[in-house]
Amino acid sequence: MQSFCHTAAYPKPVDIDTQHSLPDFIRNRGGVSLRPGDGIIHSWMNRMLLPDTVGTGGDSHTRFPLGISFPAGSGLVAFAAATGVMPLDMPESVLVRFKGKMEPGITLRDLVHAIPYYAIKQGLLTVEKKGKINFFSGRILEIEGLEYLTAEQAFELSDASAERSASGCTIKLSEESVAEYLRSNITLLRWMIAEGYGDVRTLERRARKMEDWLANPSLLSADADAEYAAVIEIDLAEVKEPVVCCPNDPDDARLLSEVAGDKVDEVFIGSCMTNIGHFRAAGKLLEKHGDEMTTRLWIVPPTKMDEHALMEEGYYNIFGKSGARTEMPGCSLCMGNQARVKAGSTVLSTSTRNFPNRLGDGANVYLTSAELAAVGAILGRLPTPAEYMEYANQIDSMADDIYRYLNFDQVASFQASAEKGKRIAAEQIDVVTA
Protein backbone atom coordinates (compact mmCIF):
# COMPACT_ATOMS: atom_id res chain seq x y z
CA MET A 1 0.00 0.00 0.00
CA GLN A 2 1.16 3.53 -0.82
CA SER A 3 -0.14 6.91 0.31
CA PHE A 4 0.69 10.60 0.17
CA CYS A 5 0.01 11.37 3.82
CA HIS A 6 3.40 13.06 4.38
CA THR A 7 3.00 15.61 1.59
CA ALA A 8 -0.65 15.96 0.51
CA ALA A 9 -1.52 19.01 2.59
CA TYR A 10 1.39 21.19 1.43
CA PRO A 11 2.72 19.66 -1.79
CA LYS A 12 5.75 20.93 -3.69
CA PRO A 13 5.81 20.67 -7.50
CA VAL A 14 7.78 17.42 -7.25
CA ASP A 15 5.09 16.02 -4.93
CA ILE A 16 2.39 16.80 -7.50
CA ASP A 17 4.39 14.95 -10.14
CA THR A 18 4.68 11.96 -7.82
CA GLN A 19 0.96 12.03 -7.08
CA HIS A 20 0.29 11.63 -10.80
CA SER A 21 2.90 8.96 -11.56
CA LEU A 22 3.24 6.74 -8.50
CA PRO A 23 -0.31 5.31 -8.30
CA ASP A 24 -0.06 3.58 -11.67
CA PHE A 25 3.35 2.17 -10.75
CA ILE A 26 1.93 0.71 -7.53
CA ARG A 27 -1.29 -0.65 -9.06
CA ASN A 28 0.47 -2.23 -12.04
CA ARG A 29 2.41 -4.32 -9.54
CA GLY A 30 -0.65 -5.45 -7.64
CA GLY A 31 -0.37 -2.83 -4.90
CA VAL A 32 -3.05 -0.61 -3.42
CA SER A 33 -2.73 3.10 -4.12
CA LEU A 34 -4.36 5.72 -1.91
CA ARG A 35 -5.17 9.26 -3.03
CA PRO A 36 -4.06 12.66 -1.73
CA GLY A 37 -6.34 13.61 1.14
CA ASP A 38 -7.29 10.03 1.99
CA GLY A 39 -5.31 10.23 5.21
CA ILE A 40 -2.57 8.39 7.05
CA ILE A 41 -1.31 5.15 5.57
CA HIS A 42 -1.14 3.31 8.91
CA SER A 43 -4.81 3.92 9.65
CA TRP A 44 -5.65 2.52 6.19
CA MET A 45 -3.11 -0.31 6.14
CA ASN A 46 -4.50 -1.69 9.39
CA ARG A 47 -7.77 -2.26 7.54
CA MET A 48 -6.08 -4.81 5.28
CA LEU A 49 -4.53 -6.95 8.01
CA LEU A 50 -5.09 -10.64 8.62
CA PRO A 51 -4.68 -12.08 12.13
CA ASP A 52 -1.39 -13.79 13.00
CA THR A 53 0.45 -12.64 9.91
CA VAL A 54 3.80 -10.86 9.55
CA GLY A 55 4.25 -7.58 7.70
CA THR A 56 6.69 -4.76 7.05
CA GLY A 57 6.67 -1.16 5.89
CA GLY A 58 9.02 1.70 5.15
CA ASP A 59 7.89 3.86 8.07
CA SER A 60 8.82 3.33 11.72
CA HIS A 61 5.13 3.41 12.70
CA THR A 62 4.24 0.35 10.64
CA ARG A 63 3.07 -1.32 13.86
CA PHE A 64 0.14 -3.64 13.23
CA PRO A 65 -2.55 -4.15 15.91
CA LEU A 66 -3.16 -7.62 14.43
CA GLY A 67 -0.30 -10.04 13.91
CA ILE A 68 3.11 -8.39 13.98
CA SER A 69 5.12 -6.08 11.75
CA PHE A 70 8.79 -5.23 11.46
CA PRO A 71 9.46 -1.77 9.96
CA ALA A 72 12.50 -1.64 7.70
CA GLY A 73 14.42 0.50 5.25
CA SER A 74 13.05 1.00 1.77
CA GLY A 75 15.43 -1.51 0.20
CA LEU A 76 14.43 -4.31 2.54
CA VAL A 77 10.76 -3.41 2.19
CA ALA A 78 11.09 -3.58 -1.60
CA PHE A 79 12.84 -6.95 -1.28
CA ALA A 80 10.00 -8.25 0.92
CA ALA A 81 7.36 -6.93 -1.49
CA ALA A 82 9.05 -8.55 -4.48
CA THR A 83 9.88 -11.93 -2.92
CA GLY A 84 7.37 -12.36 -0.11
CA VAL A 85 10.13 -12.96 2.44
CA MET A 86 12.57 -10.87 4.46
CA PRO A 87 15.57 -11.86 6.60
CA LEU A 88 15.00 -11.49 10.33
CA ASP A 89 16.97 -12.29 13.45
CA MET A 90 14.17 -13.06 15.87
CA PRO A 91 14.72 -10.90 18.97
CA GLU A 92 13.76 -11.53 22.57
CA SER A 93 10.47 -10.23 23.95
CA VAL A 94 9.55 -7.88 26.76
CA LEU A 95 6.15 -8.66 28.23
CA VAL A 96 3.92 -5.83 29.45
CA ARG A 97 1.04 -7.28 31.43
CA PHE A 98 -1.84 -5.01 32.42
CA LYS A 99 -4.16 -6.18 35.17
CA GLY A 100 -7.32 -4.85 36.75
CA LYS A 101 -9.71 -2.20 35.50
CA MET A 102 -8.99 1.30 34.22
CA GLU A 103 -9.78 4.12 36.63
CA PRO A 104 -12.29 6.85 35.64
CA GLY A 105 -10.75 9.57 33.48
CA ILE A 106 -7.78 7.45 32.46
CA THR A 107 -7.31 6.97 28.72
CA LEU A 108 -5.44 4.50 26.56
CA ARG A 109 -2.85 7.19 25.84
CA ASP A 110 -2.15 7.23 29.56
CA LEU A 111 -1.51 3.48 29.38
CA VAL A 112 0.81 4.06 26.42
CA HIS A 113 2.84 6.43 28.60
CA ALA A 114 2.54 4.19 31.63
CA ILE A 115 4.81 1.69 29.87
CA PRO A 116 7.90 3.94 29.90
CA TYR A 117 6.85 5.31 33.30
CA TYR A 118 6.90 1.85 34.86
CA ALA A 119 10.01 0.86 32.90
CA ILE A 120 11.84 3.80 34.47
CA LYS A 121 10.72 2.66 37.92
CA GLN A 122 12.08 -0.84 37.20
CA GLY A 123 15.42 0.47 35.93
CA LEU A 124 14.73 -0.75 32.38
CA LEU A 125 14.72 2.78 30.90
CA THR A 126 16.51 6.03 31.61
CA VAL A 127 15.86 9.53 30.31
CA GLU A 128 19.41 10.81 30.65
CA LYS A 129 21.25 10.42 27.34
CA LYS A 130 24.63 9.73 28.94
CA GLY A 131 24.75 6.02 29.73
CA LYS A 132 21.27 5.66 28.24
CA ILE A 133 19.39 2.46 29.13
CA ASN A 134 16.54 1.30 26.91
CA PHE A 135 15.72 -2.35 27.50
CA PHE A 136 13.01 -2.24 24.82
CA SER A 137 15.48 -1.39 22.06
CA GLY A 138 15.74 -4.16 19.47
CA ARG A 139 13.27 -6.39 21.32
CA ILE A 140 9.63 -7.29 20.67
CA LEU A 141 7.04 -5.69 22.92
CA GLU A 142 4.27 -8.13 23.84
CA ILE A 143 1.18 -6.69 25.52
CA GLU A 144 -1.54 -8.61 27.28
CA GLY A 145 -4.33 -7.98 29.78
CA LEU A 146 -6.37 -5.69 27.50
CA GLU A 147 -8.03 -8.33 25.36
CA TYR A 148 -11.31 -6.41 25.31
CA LEU A 149 -9.88 -3.51 23.28
CA THR A 150 -11.02 -2.89 19.73
CA ALA A 151 -8.34 -3.11 17.05
CA GLU A 152 -8.49 0.70 16.65
CA GLN A 153 -7.73 1.08 20.35
CA ALA A 154 -5.01 -1.59 20.27
CA PHE A 155 -3.19 0.32 17.54
CA GLU A 156 -2.64 3.21 19.94
CA LEU A 157 -0.48 0.85 22.01
CA SER A 158 1.26 -0.99 19.18
CA ASP A 159 1.97 2.26 17.31
CA ALA A 160 3.83 3.70 20.28
CA SER A 161 6.24 0.73 20.34
CA ALA A 162 8.19 2.76 17.75
CA GLU A 163 8.99 5.32 20.46
CA ARG A 164 10.28 2.48 22.65
CA SER A 165 12.66 1.55 19.79
CA ALA A 166 11.17 -1.96 19.86
CA SER A 167 11.66 -4.16 16.80
CA GLY A 168 7.97 -5.00 16.77
CA CYS A 169 4.87 -5.27 18.91
CA THR A 170 2.05 -7.74 19.35
CA ILE A 171 -1.13 -7.33 21.39
CA LYS A 172 -3.36 -10.11 22.63
CA LEU A 173 -6.96 -9.41 21.58
CA SER A 174 -10.15 -11.41 21.85
CA GLU A 175 -11.59 -13.26 18.87
CA GLU A 176 -14.67 -11.07 19.18
CA SER A 177 -12.63 -7.86 18.78
CA VAL A 178 -10.76 -9.23 15.78
CA ALA A 179 -13.94 -10.54 14.13
CA GLU A 180 -15.69 -7.19 14.55
CA TYR A 181 -12.76 -5.45 12.87
CA LEU A 182 -12.59 -7.88 9.96
CA ARG A 183 -16.31 -7.65 9.24
CA SER A 184 -15.96 -3.90 9.02
CA ASN A 185 -12.86 -4.13 6.85
CA ILE A 186 -14.39 -6.54 4.34
CA THR A 187 -17.03 -3.90 3.66
CA LEU A 188 -14.43 -1.14 3.41
CA LEU A 189 -12.22 -3.04 0.95
CA ARG A 190 -15.14 -3.75 -1.36
CA TRP A 191 -16.29 -0.15 -1.01
CA MET A 192 -12.80 0.83 -2.21
CA ILE A 193 -13.24 -1.35 -5.30
CA ALA A 194 -16.56 0.36 -6.08
CA GLU A 195 -14.89 3.75 -5.62
CA GLY A 196 -12.24 2.94 -8.22
CA TYR A 197 -9.35 2.00 -5.96
CA GLY A 198 -7.03 -0.79 -7.00
CA ASP A 199 -5.56 -3.19 -7.49
CA VAL A 200 -9.02 -4.81 -7.58
CA ARG A 201 -7.70 -8.36 -7.40
CA THR A 202 -5.55 -7.58 -4.37
CA LEU A 203 -8.40 -5.95 -2.48
CA GLU A 204 -10.87 -8.75 -3.25
CA ARG A 205 -8.39 -11.51 -2.41
CA ARG A 206 -7.79 -9.92 0.97
CA ALA A 207 -11.53 -9.57 1.61
CA ARG A 208 -12.00 -13.26 0.84
CA LYS A 209 -9.12 -14.21 3.15
CA MET A 210 -10.88 -12.28 5.90
CA GLU A 211 -14.08 -14.17 5.20
CA ASP A 212 -12.13 -17.44 5.41
CA TRP A 213 -10.83 -16.46 8.86
CA LEU A 214 -14.29 -15.50 10.06
CA ALA A 215 -15.58 -18.92 8.96
CA ASN A 216 -12.95 -20.62 11.12
CA PRO A 217 -11.57 -18.11 13.64
CA SER A 218 -8.43 -18.86 15.65
CA LEU A 219 -5.67 -16.78 17.22
CA LEU A 220 -2.15 -17.62 18.29
CA SER A 221 -1.31 -17.07 21.94
CA ALA A 222 1.86 -17.22 24.00
CA ASP A 223 2.91 -20.51 25.53
CA ALA A 224 2.13 -20.79 29.22
CA ASP A 225 5.82 -21.29 29.97
CA ALA A 226 7.10 -18.63 27.57
CA GLU A 227 10.27 -16.88 28.69
CA TYR A 228 10.78 -13.13 28.44
CA ALA A 229 13.81 -10.88 28.68
CA ALA A 230 11.81 -8.79 31.16
CA VAL A 231 8.26 -8.52 32.49
CA ILE A 232 6.56 -5.25 33.38
CA GLU A 233 3.32 -5.55 35.34
CA ILE A 234 1.03 -2.54 35.45
CA ASP A 235 -1.87 -2.55 37.89
CA LEU A 236 -4.49 -0.30 36.32
CA ALA A 237 -5.81 0.59 39.76
CA GLU A 238 -2.49 2.39 40.38
CA VAL A 239 -2.85 4.66 37.33
CA LYS A 240 -5.06 7.31 38.89
CA GLU A 241 -4.02 10.40 36.93
CA PRO A 242 -2.87 11.12 33.37
CA VAL A 243 0.68 10.28 32.36
CA VAL A 244 2.42 12.63 29.91
CA CYS A 245 5.75 12.55 28.12
CA CYS A 246 7.62 15.79 28.74
CA PRO A 247 9.60 18.06 26.41
CA ASN A 248 11.30 16.89 24.38
CA ASP A 249 11.69 13.15 24.86
CA PRO A 250 9.05 10.40 24.46
CA ASP A 251 10.85 8.46 27.21
CA ASP A 252 10.40 11.23 29.79
CA ALA A 253 7.11 9.96 31.22
CA ARG A 254 5.75 11.79 34.26
CA LEU A 255 2.49 12.17 36.13
CA LEU A 256 0.31 15.18 35.33
CA SER A 257 0.68 16.40 38.92
CA GLU A 258 4.41 16.89 38.31
CA VAL A 259 3.92 19.33 35.42
CA ALA A 260 0.53 20.95 36.12
CA GLY A 261 0.35 24.70 35.54
CA ASP A 262 2.76 24.93 32.61
CA LYS A 263 1.45 27.48 30.08
CA VAL A 264 0.11 26.07 26.78
CA ASP A 265 0.36 28.01 23.50
CA GLU A 266 -0.71 25.46 20.89
CA VAL A 267 -2.48 22.08 20.85
CA PHE A 268 -2.36 19.43 18.14
CA ILE A 269 -4.98 16.66 17.99
CA GLY A 270 -4.08 14.39 15.11
CA SER A 271 -1.63 11.72 13.84
CA CYS A 272 -1.94 7.95 13.49
CA MET A 273 -2.22 7.76 17.29
CA THR A 274 -5.78 9.10 17.07
CA ASN A 275 -9.14 7.69 16.06
CA ILE A 276 -12.61 9.16 15.72
CA GLY A 277 -13.38 8.81 19.44
CA HIS A 278 -10.62 11.25 20.34
CA PHE A 279 -12.11 13.96 18.14
CA ARG A 280 -15.60 13.42 19.53
CA ALA A 281 -14.24 13.70 23.08
CA ALA A 282 -12.42 16.92 22.26
CA GLY A 283 -15.50 18.25 20.48
CA LYS A 284 -17.77 17.59 23.45
CA LEU A 285 -15.44 19.49 25.77
CA LEU A 286 -15.08 22.39 23.35
CA GLU A 287 -18.85 22.56 22.88
CA LYS A 288 -19.43 22.81 26.61
CA HIS A 289 -16.75 25.50 26.91
CA GLY A 290 -18.50 27.54 24.23
CA ASP A 291 -16.07 30.43 23.85
CA GLU A 292 -13.20 30.79 21.38
CA MET A 293 -9.89 29.81 22.89
CA THR A 294 -6.71 31.79 23.40
CA THR A 295 -4.62 28.77 22.43
CA ARG A 296 -4.10 27.72 18.83
CA LEU A 297 -5.80 24.36 18.28
CA TRP A 298 -5.01 22.09 15.32
CA ILE A 299 -7.54 19.39 14.35
CA VAL A 300 -6.43 16.78 11.81
CA PRO A 301 -8.35 13.46 11.57
CA PRO A 302 -6.36 10.41 10.45
CA THR A 303 -8.62 9.44 7.49
CA LYS A 304 -11.21 11.00 5.22
CA MET A 305 -13.79 8.57 6.63
CA ASP A 306 -13.23 10.01 10.11
CA GLU A 307 -13.43 13.53 8.71
CA HIS A 308 -16.70 12.79 6.89
CA ALA A 309 -18.32 11.18 9.94
CA LEU A 310 -17.26 14.07 12.18
CA MET A 311 -18.73 16.56 9.71
CA GLU A 312 -22.01 14.67 9.54
CA GLU A 313 -22.20 14.56 13.33
CA GLY A 314 -21.68 18.31 13.62
CA TYR A 315 -18.24 18.31 15.20
CA TYR A 316 -16.66 20.48 12.51
CA ASN A 317 -19.19 23.16 13.39
CA ILE A 318 -17.96 22.94 16.99
CA PHE A 319 -14.32 23.06 15.92
CA GLY A 320 -15.01 26.10 13.73
CA LYS A 321 -16.80 28.03 16.48
CA SER A 322 -13.92 27.34 18.87
CA GLY A 323 -11.44 28.85 16.42
CA ALA A 324 -9.65 25.60 15.68
CA ARG A 325 -7.52 25.19 12.56
CA THR A 326 -8.67 22.10 10.63
CA GLU A 327 -6.52 20.42 7.99
CA MET A 328 -7.06 17.65 5.47
CA PRO A 329 -6.57 14.13 6.87
CA GLY A 330 -2.89 13.28 7.02
CA CYS A 331 0.22 13.55 9.17
CA SER A 332 0.27 17.36 9.49
CA LEU A 333 2.42 18.58 12.39
CA CYS A 334 3.48 15.08 13.38
CA MET A 335 5.66 14.67 10.30
CA GLY A 336 7.42 17.98 10.87
CA ASN A 337 7.89 18.72 7.16
CA GLN A 338 4.63 20.59 6.56
CA ALA A 339 3.02 23.23 8.77
CA ARG A 340 4.84 24.16 11.98
CA VAL A 341 3.92 25.53 15.36
CA LYS A 342 5.27 28.92 16.37
CA ALA A 343 8.95 28.90 17.33
CA GLY A 344 9.54 28.55 21.06
CA SER A 345 5.91 27.67 21.85
CA THR A 346 4.72 25.14 24.40
CA VAL A 347 2.55 22.49 22.80
CA LEU A 348 0.27 19.66 23.91
CA SER A 349 0.28 17.04 21.17
CA THR A 350 -1.26 13.66 20.42
CA SER A 351 1.51 13.01 17.88
CA THR A 352 3.73 9.96 18.00
CA ARG A 353 6.89 11.66 19.22
CA ASN A 354 8.21 14.94 20.55
CA PHE A 355 11.81 15.07 19.41
CA PRO A 356 13.48 18.51 19.60
CA ASN A 357 12.40 20.91 16.81
CA ARG A 358 10.12 18.33 15.16
CA LEU A 359 6.84 20.24 15.50
CA GLY A 360 8.48 23.67 15.55
CA ASP A 361 11.82 25.37 16.11
CA GLY A 362 12.60 25.41 19.82
CA ALA A 363 9.10 24.17 20.67
CA ASN A 364 8.51 22.41 23.98
CA VAL A 365 6.15 19.54 23.25
CA TYR A 366 4.23 17.41 25.74
CA LEU A 367 2.74 14.16 24.46
CA THR A 368 -0.73 13.74 25.95
CA SER A 369 -4.10 12.15 25.34
CA ALA A 370 -6.58 13.98 23.13
CA GLU A 371 -8.76 14.46 26.17
CA LEU A 372 -6.03 16.16 28.20
CA ALA A 373 -4.96 18.15 25.15
CA ALA A 374 -8.49 19.51 24.76
CA VAL A 375 -8.58 20.56 28.42
CA GLY A 376 -5.22 22.26 27.99
CA ALA A 377 -6.54 24.09 24.93
CA ILE A 378 -9.50 25.38 26.92
CA LEU A 379 -7.52 26.44 30.00
CA GLY A 380 -4.36 27.63 28.26
CA ARG A 381 -2.27 25.58 30.67
CA LEU A 382 -1.77 22.06 31.89
CA PRO A 383 -4.51 21.40 34.44
CA THR A 384 -4.12 19.90 37.87
CA PRO A 385 -5.32 16.29 38.13
CA ALA A 386 -8.43 17.51 39.98
CA GLU A 387 -9.22 20.04 37.25
CA TYR A 388 -8.69 17.44 34.56
CA MET A 389 -11.00 14.96 36.29
CA GLU A 390 -13.80 17.53 36.33
CA TYR A 391 -13.67 17.60 32.54
CA ALA A 392 -13.02 13.86 32.23
CA ASN A 393 -16.16 13.11 34.22
CA GLN A 394 -18.17 14.92 31.54
CA ILE A 395 -16.67 12.63 28.91
CA ASP A 396 -17.18 9.47 30.96
CA SER A 397 -20.89 10.22 31.22
CA MET A 398 -21.10 10.22 27.40
CA ALA A 399 -18.56 7.45 26.75
CA ASP A 400 -20.90 5.12 24.86
CA ASP A 401 -21.70 7.84 22.34
CA ILE A 402 -18.17 9.23 22.09
CA TYR A 403 -16.10 6.08 21.77
CA ARG A 404 -17.92 4.49 18.87
CA TYR A 405 -15.72 3.31 16.06
CA LEU A 406 -16.26 3.15 12.31
CA ASN A 407 -17.84 -0.24 11.68
CA PHE A 408 -18.38 0.07 7.95
CA ASP A 409 -20.49 -3.08 7.79
CA GLN A 410 -23.10 -1.18 9.78
CA VAL A 411 -23.14 1.93 7.55
CA ALA A 412 -25.78 1.71 4.80
CA SER A 413 -23.85 3.73 2.21
CA PHE A 414 -20.75 1.58 2.62
CA GLN A 415 -22.80 -1.62 2.53
CA ALA A 416 -24.43 -0.65 -0.77
CA SER A 417 -21.11 0.27 -2.37
CA ALA A 418 -19.50 -2.91 -1.03
CA GLU A 419 -22.10 -5.01 -2.83
CA LYS A 420 -21.25 -3.17 -6.03
CA GLY A 421 -17.54 -3.68 -5.40
CA LYS A 422 -18.06 -7.39 -4.87
CA ARG A 423 -19.77 -7.66 -8.24
CA ILE A 424 -16.99 -5.72 -9.97
CA ALA A 425 -14.37 -7.98 -8.42
CA ALA A 426 -16.28 -11.12 -9.42
CA GLU A 427 -16.32 -9.97 -13.04
CA GLN A 428 -12.57 -9.35 -13.00
CA ILE A 429 -11.47 -12.37 -10.99
CA ASP A 430 -13.98 -15.20 -11.24
CA VAL A 431 -14.74 -14.80 -14.94
CA VAL A 432 -11.04 -14.73 -15.84
CA THR A 433 -10.36 -17.72 -13.62
CA ALA A 434 -13.16 -19.67 -15.26
d(CA 378, CA 390): 13
Is 56 in contact with 72 (CB distance < 8 Å)?
yes
Give the per-residue pLDDT at 431: 62
Query: Is there a contact between 274 and 307 (Cβ–Cβ < 8 Å)?
Result: no
pLDDT of residue 72: 94
| Angstrom distance (rounded) from CA 395 to CA 42 | 27
The continuous run of DSSP H or E covering 230 comes out as strand 230-235
* pLDDT in the model for residue 428: 86
H or E, element range at 270: strand 266-270
Measured between alpha carbons, how far is 244 from 254 in angstroms, rounded to an integer? 6
Residues 344 and 362 sit within 8 Å (Cβ to Cβ)? yes
| Residue 193 CA from chain centroid, whole number | 24
Question: If you write DSSP's letter for every residue of 157-187 in order, what string do you get?
Answer: HHHGGGTTT-SEEEE---HHHHHHHHHHHHH
Nearest to 54 by CA among 137, 140, 115: 140
What is the pLDDT, as a whole number, of residue 85?
93
For residue 259, what pLDDT is reported?
98
pLDDT at 430: 72
Tens digit of each residue's pLDDT, the chain (434 residues):
999 999 999 999 999 999 999 999 999 999 999 999 999 999 999 999 999 999 999 999 999 999 999 999 999 999 999 999 999 888 999 999 999 999 999 999 999 999 999 999 999 999 999 999 999 999 999 999 999 999 999 999 999 999 999 999 999 999 999 999 999 999 999 999 999 999 999 999 999 999 999 999 999 999 999 999 999 999 999 999 999 999 999 999 999 999 999 999 999 999 999 999 999 999 999 999 988 888 999 999 999 999 999 999 999 999 999 999 999 999 999 988 878 999 999 999 999 999 999 999 999 999 999 999 999 999 999 999 999 999 999 999 899 999 999 999 999 999 999 999 999 999 988 765 55
The answer to whether the peptide bond before residue 248 is cis (omega within 30 degrees of 0) is: yes
pLDDT value, residue 53: 96
Predicted pLDDT at 290? 83
- Compute the distance between CA of residue 322 and CA of residue 335 in angstroms, rounded to an integer: 25
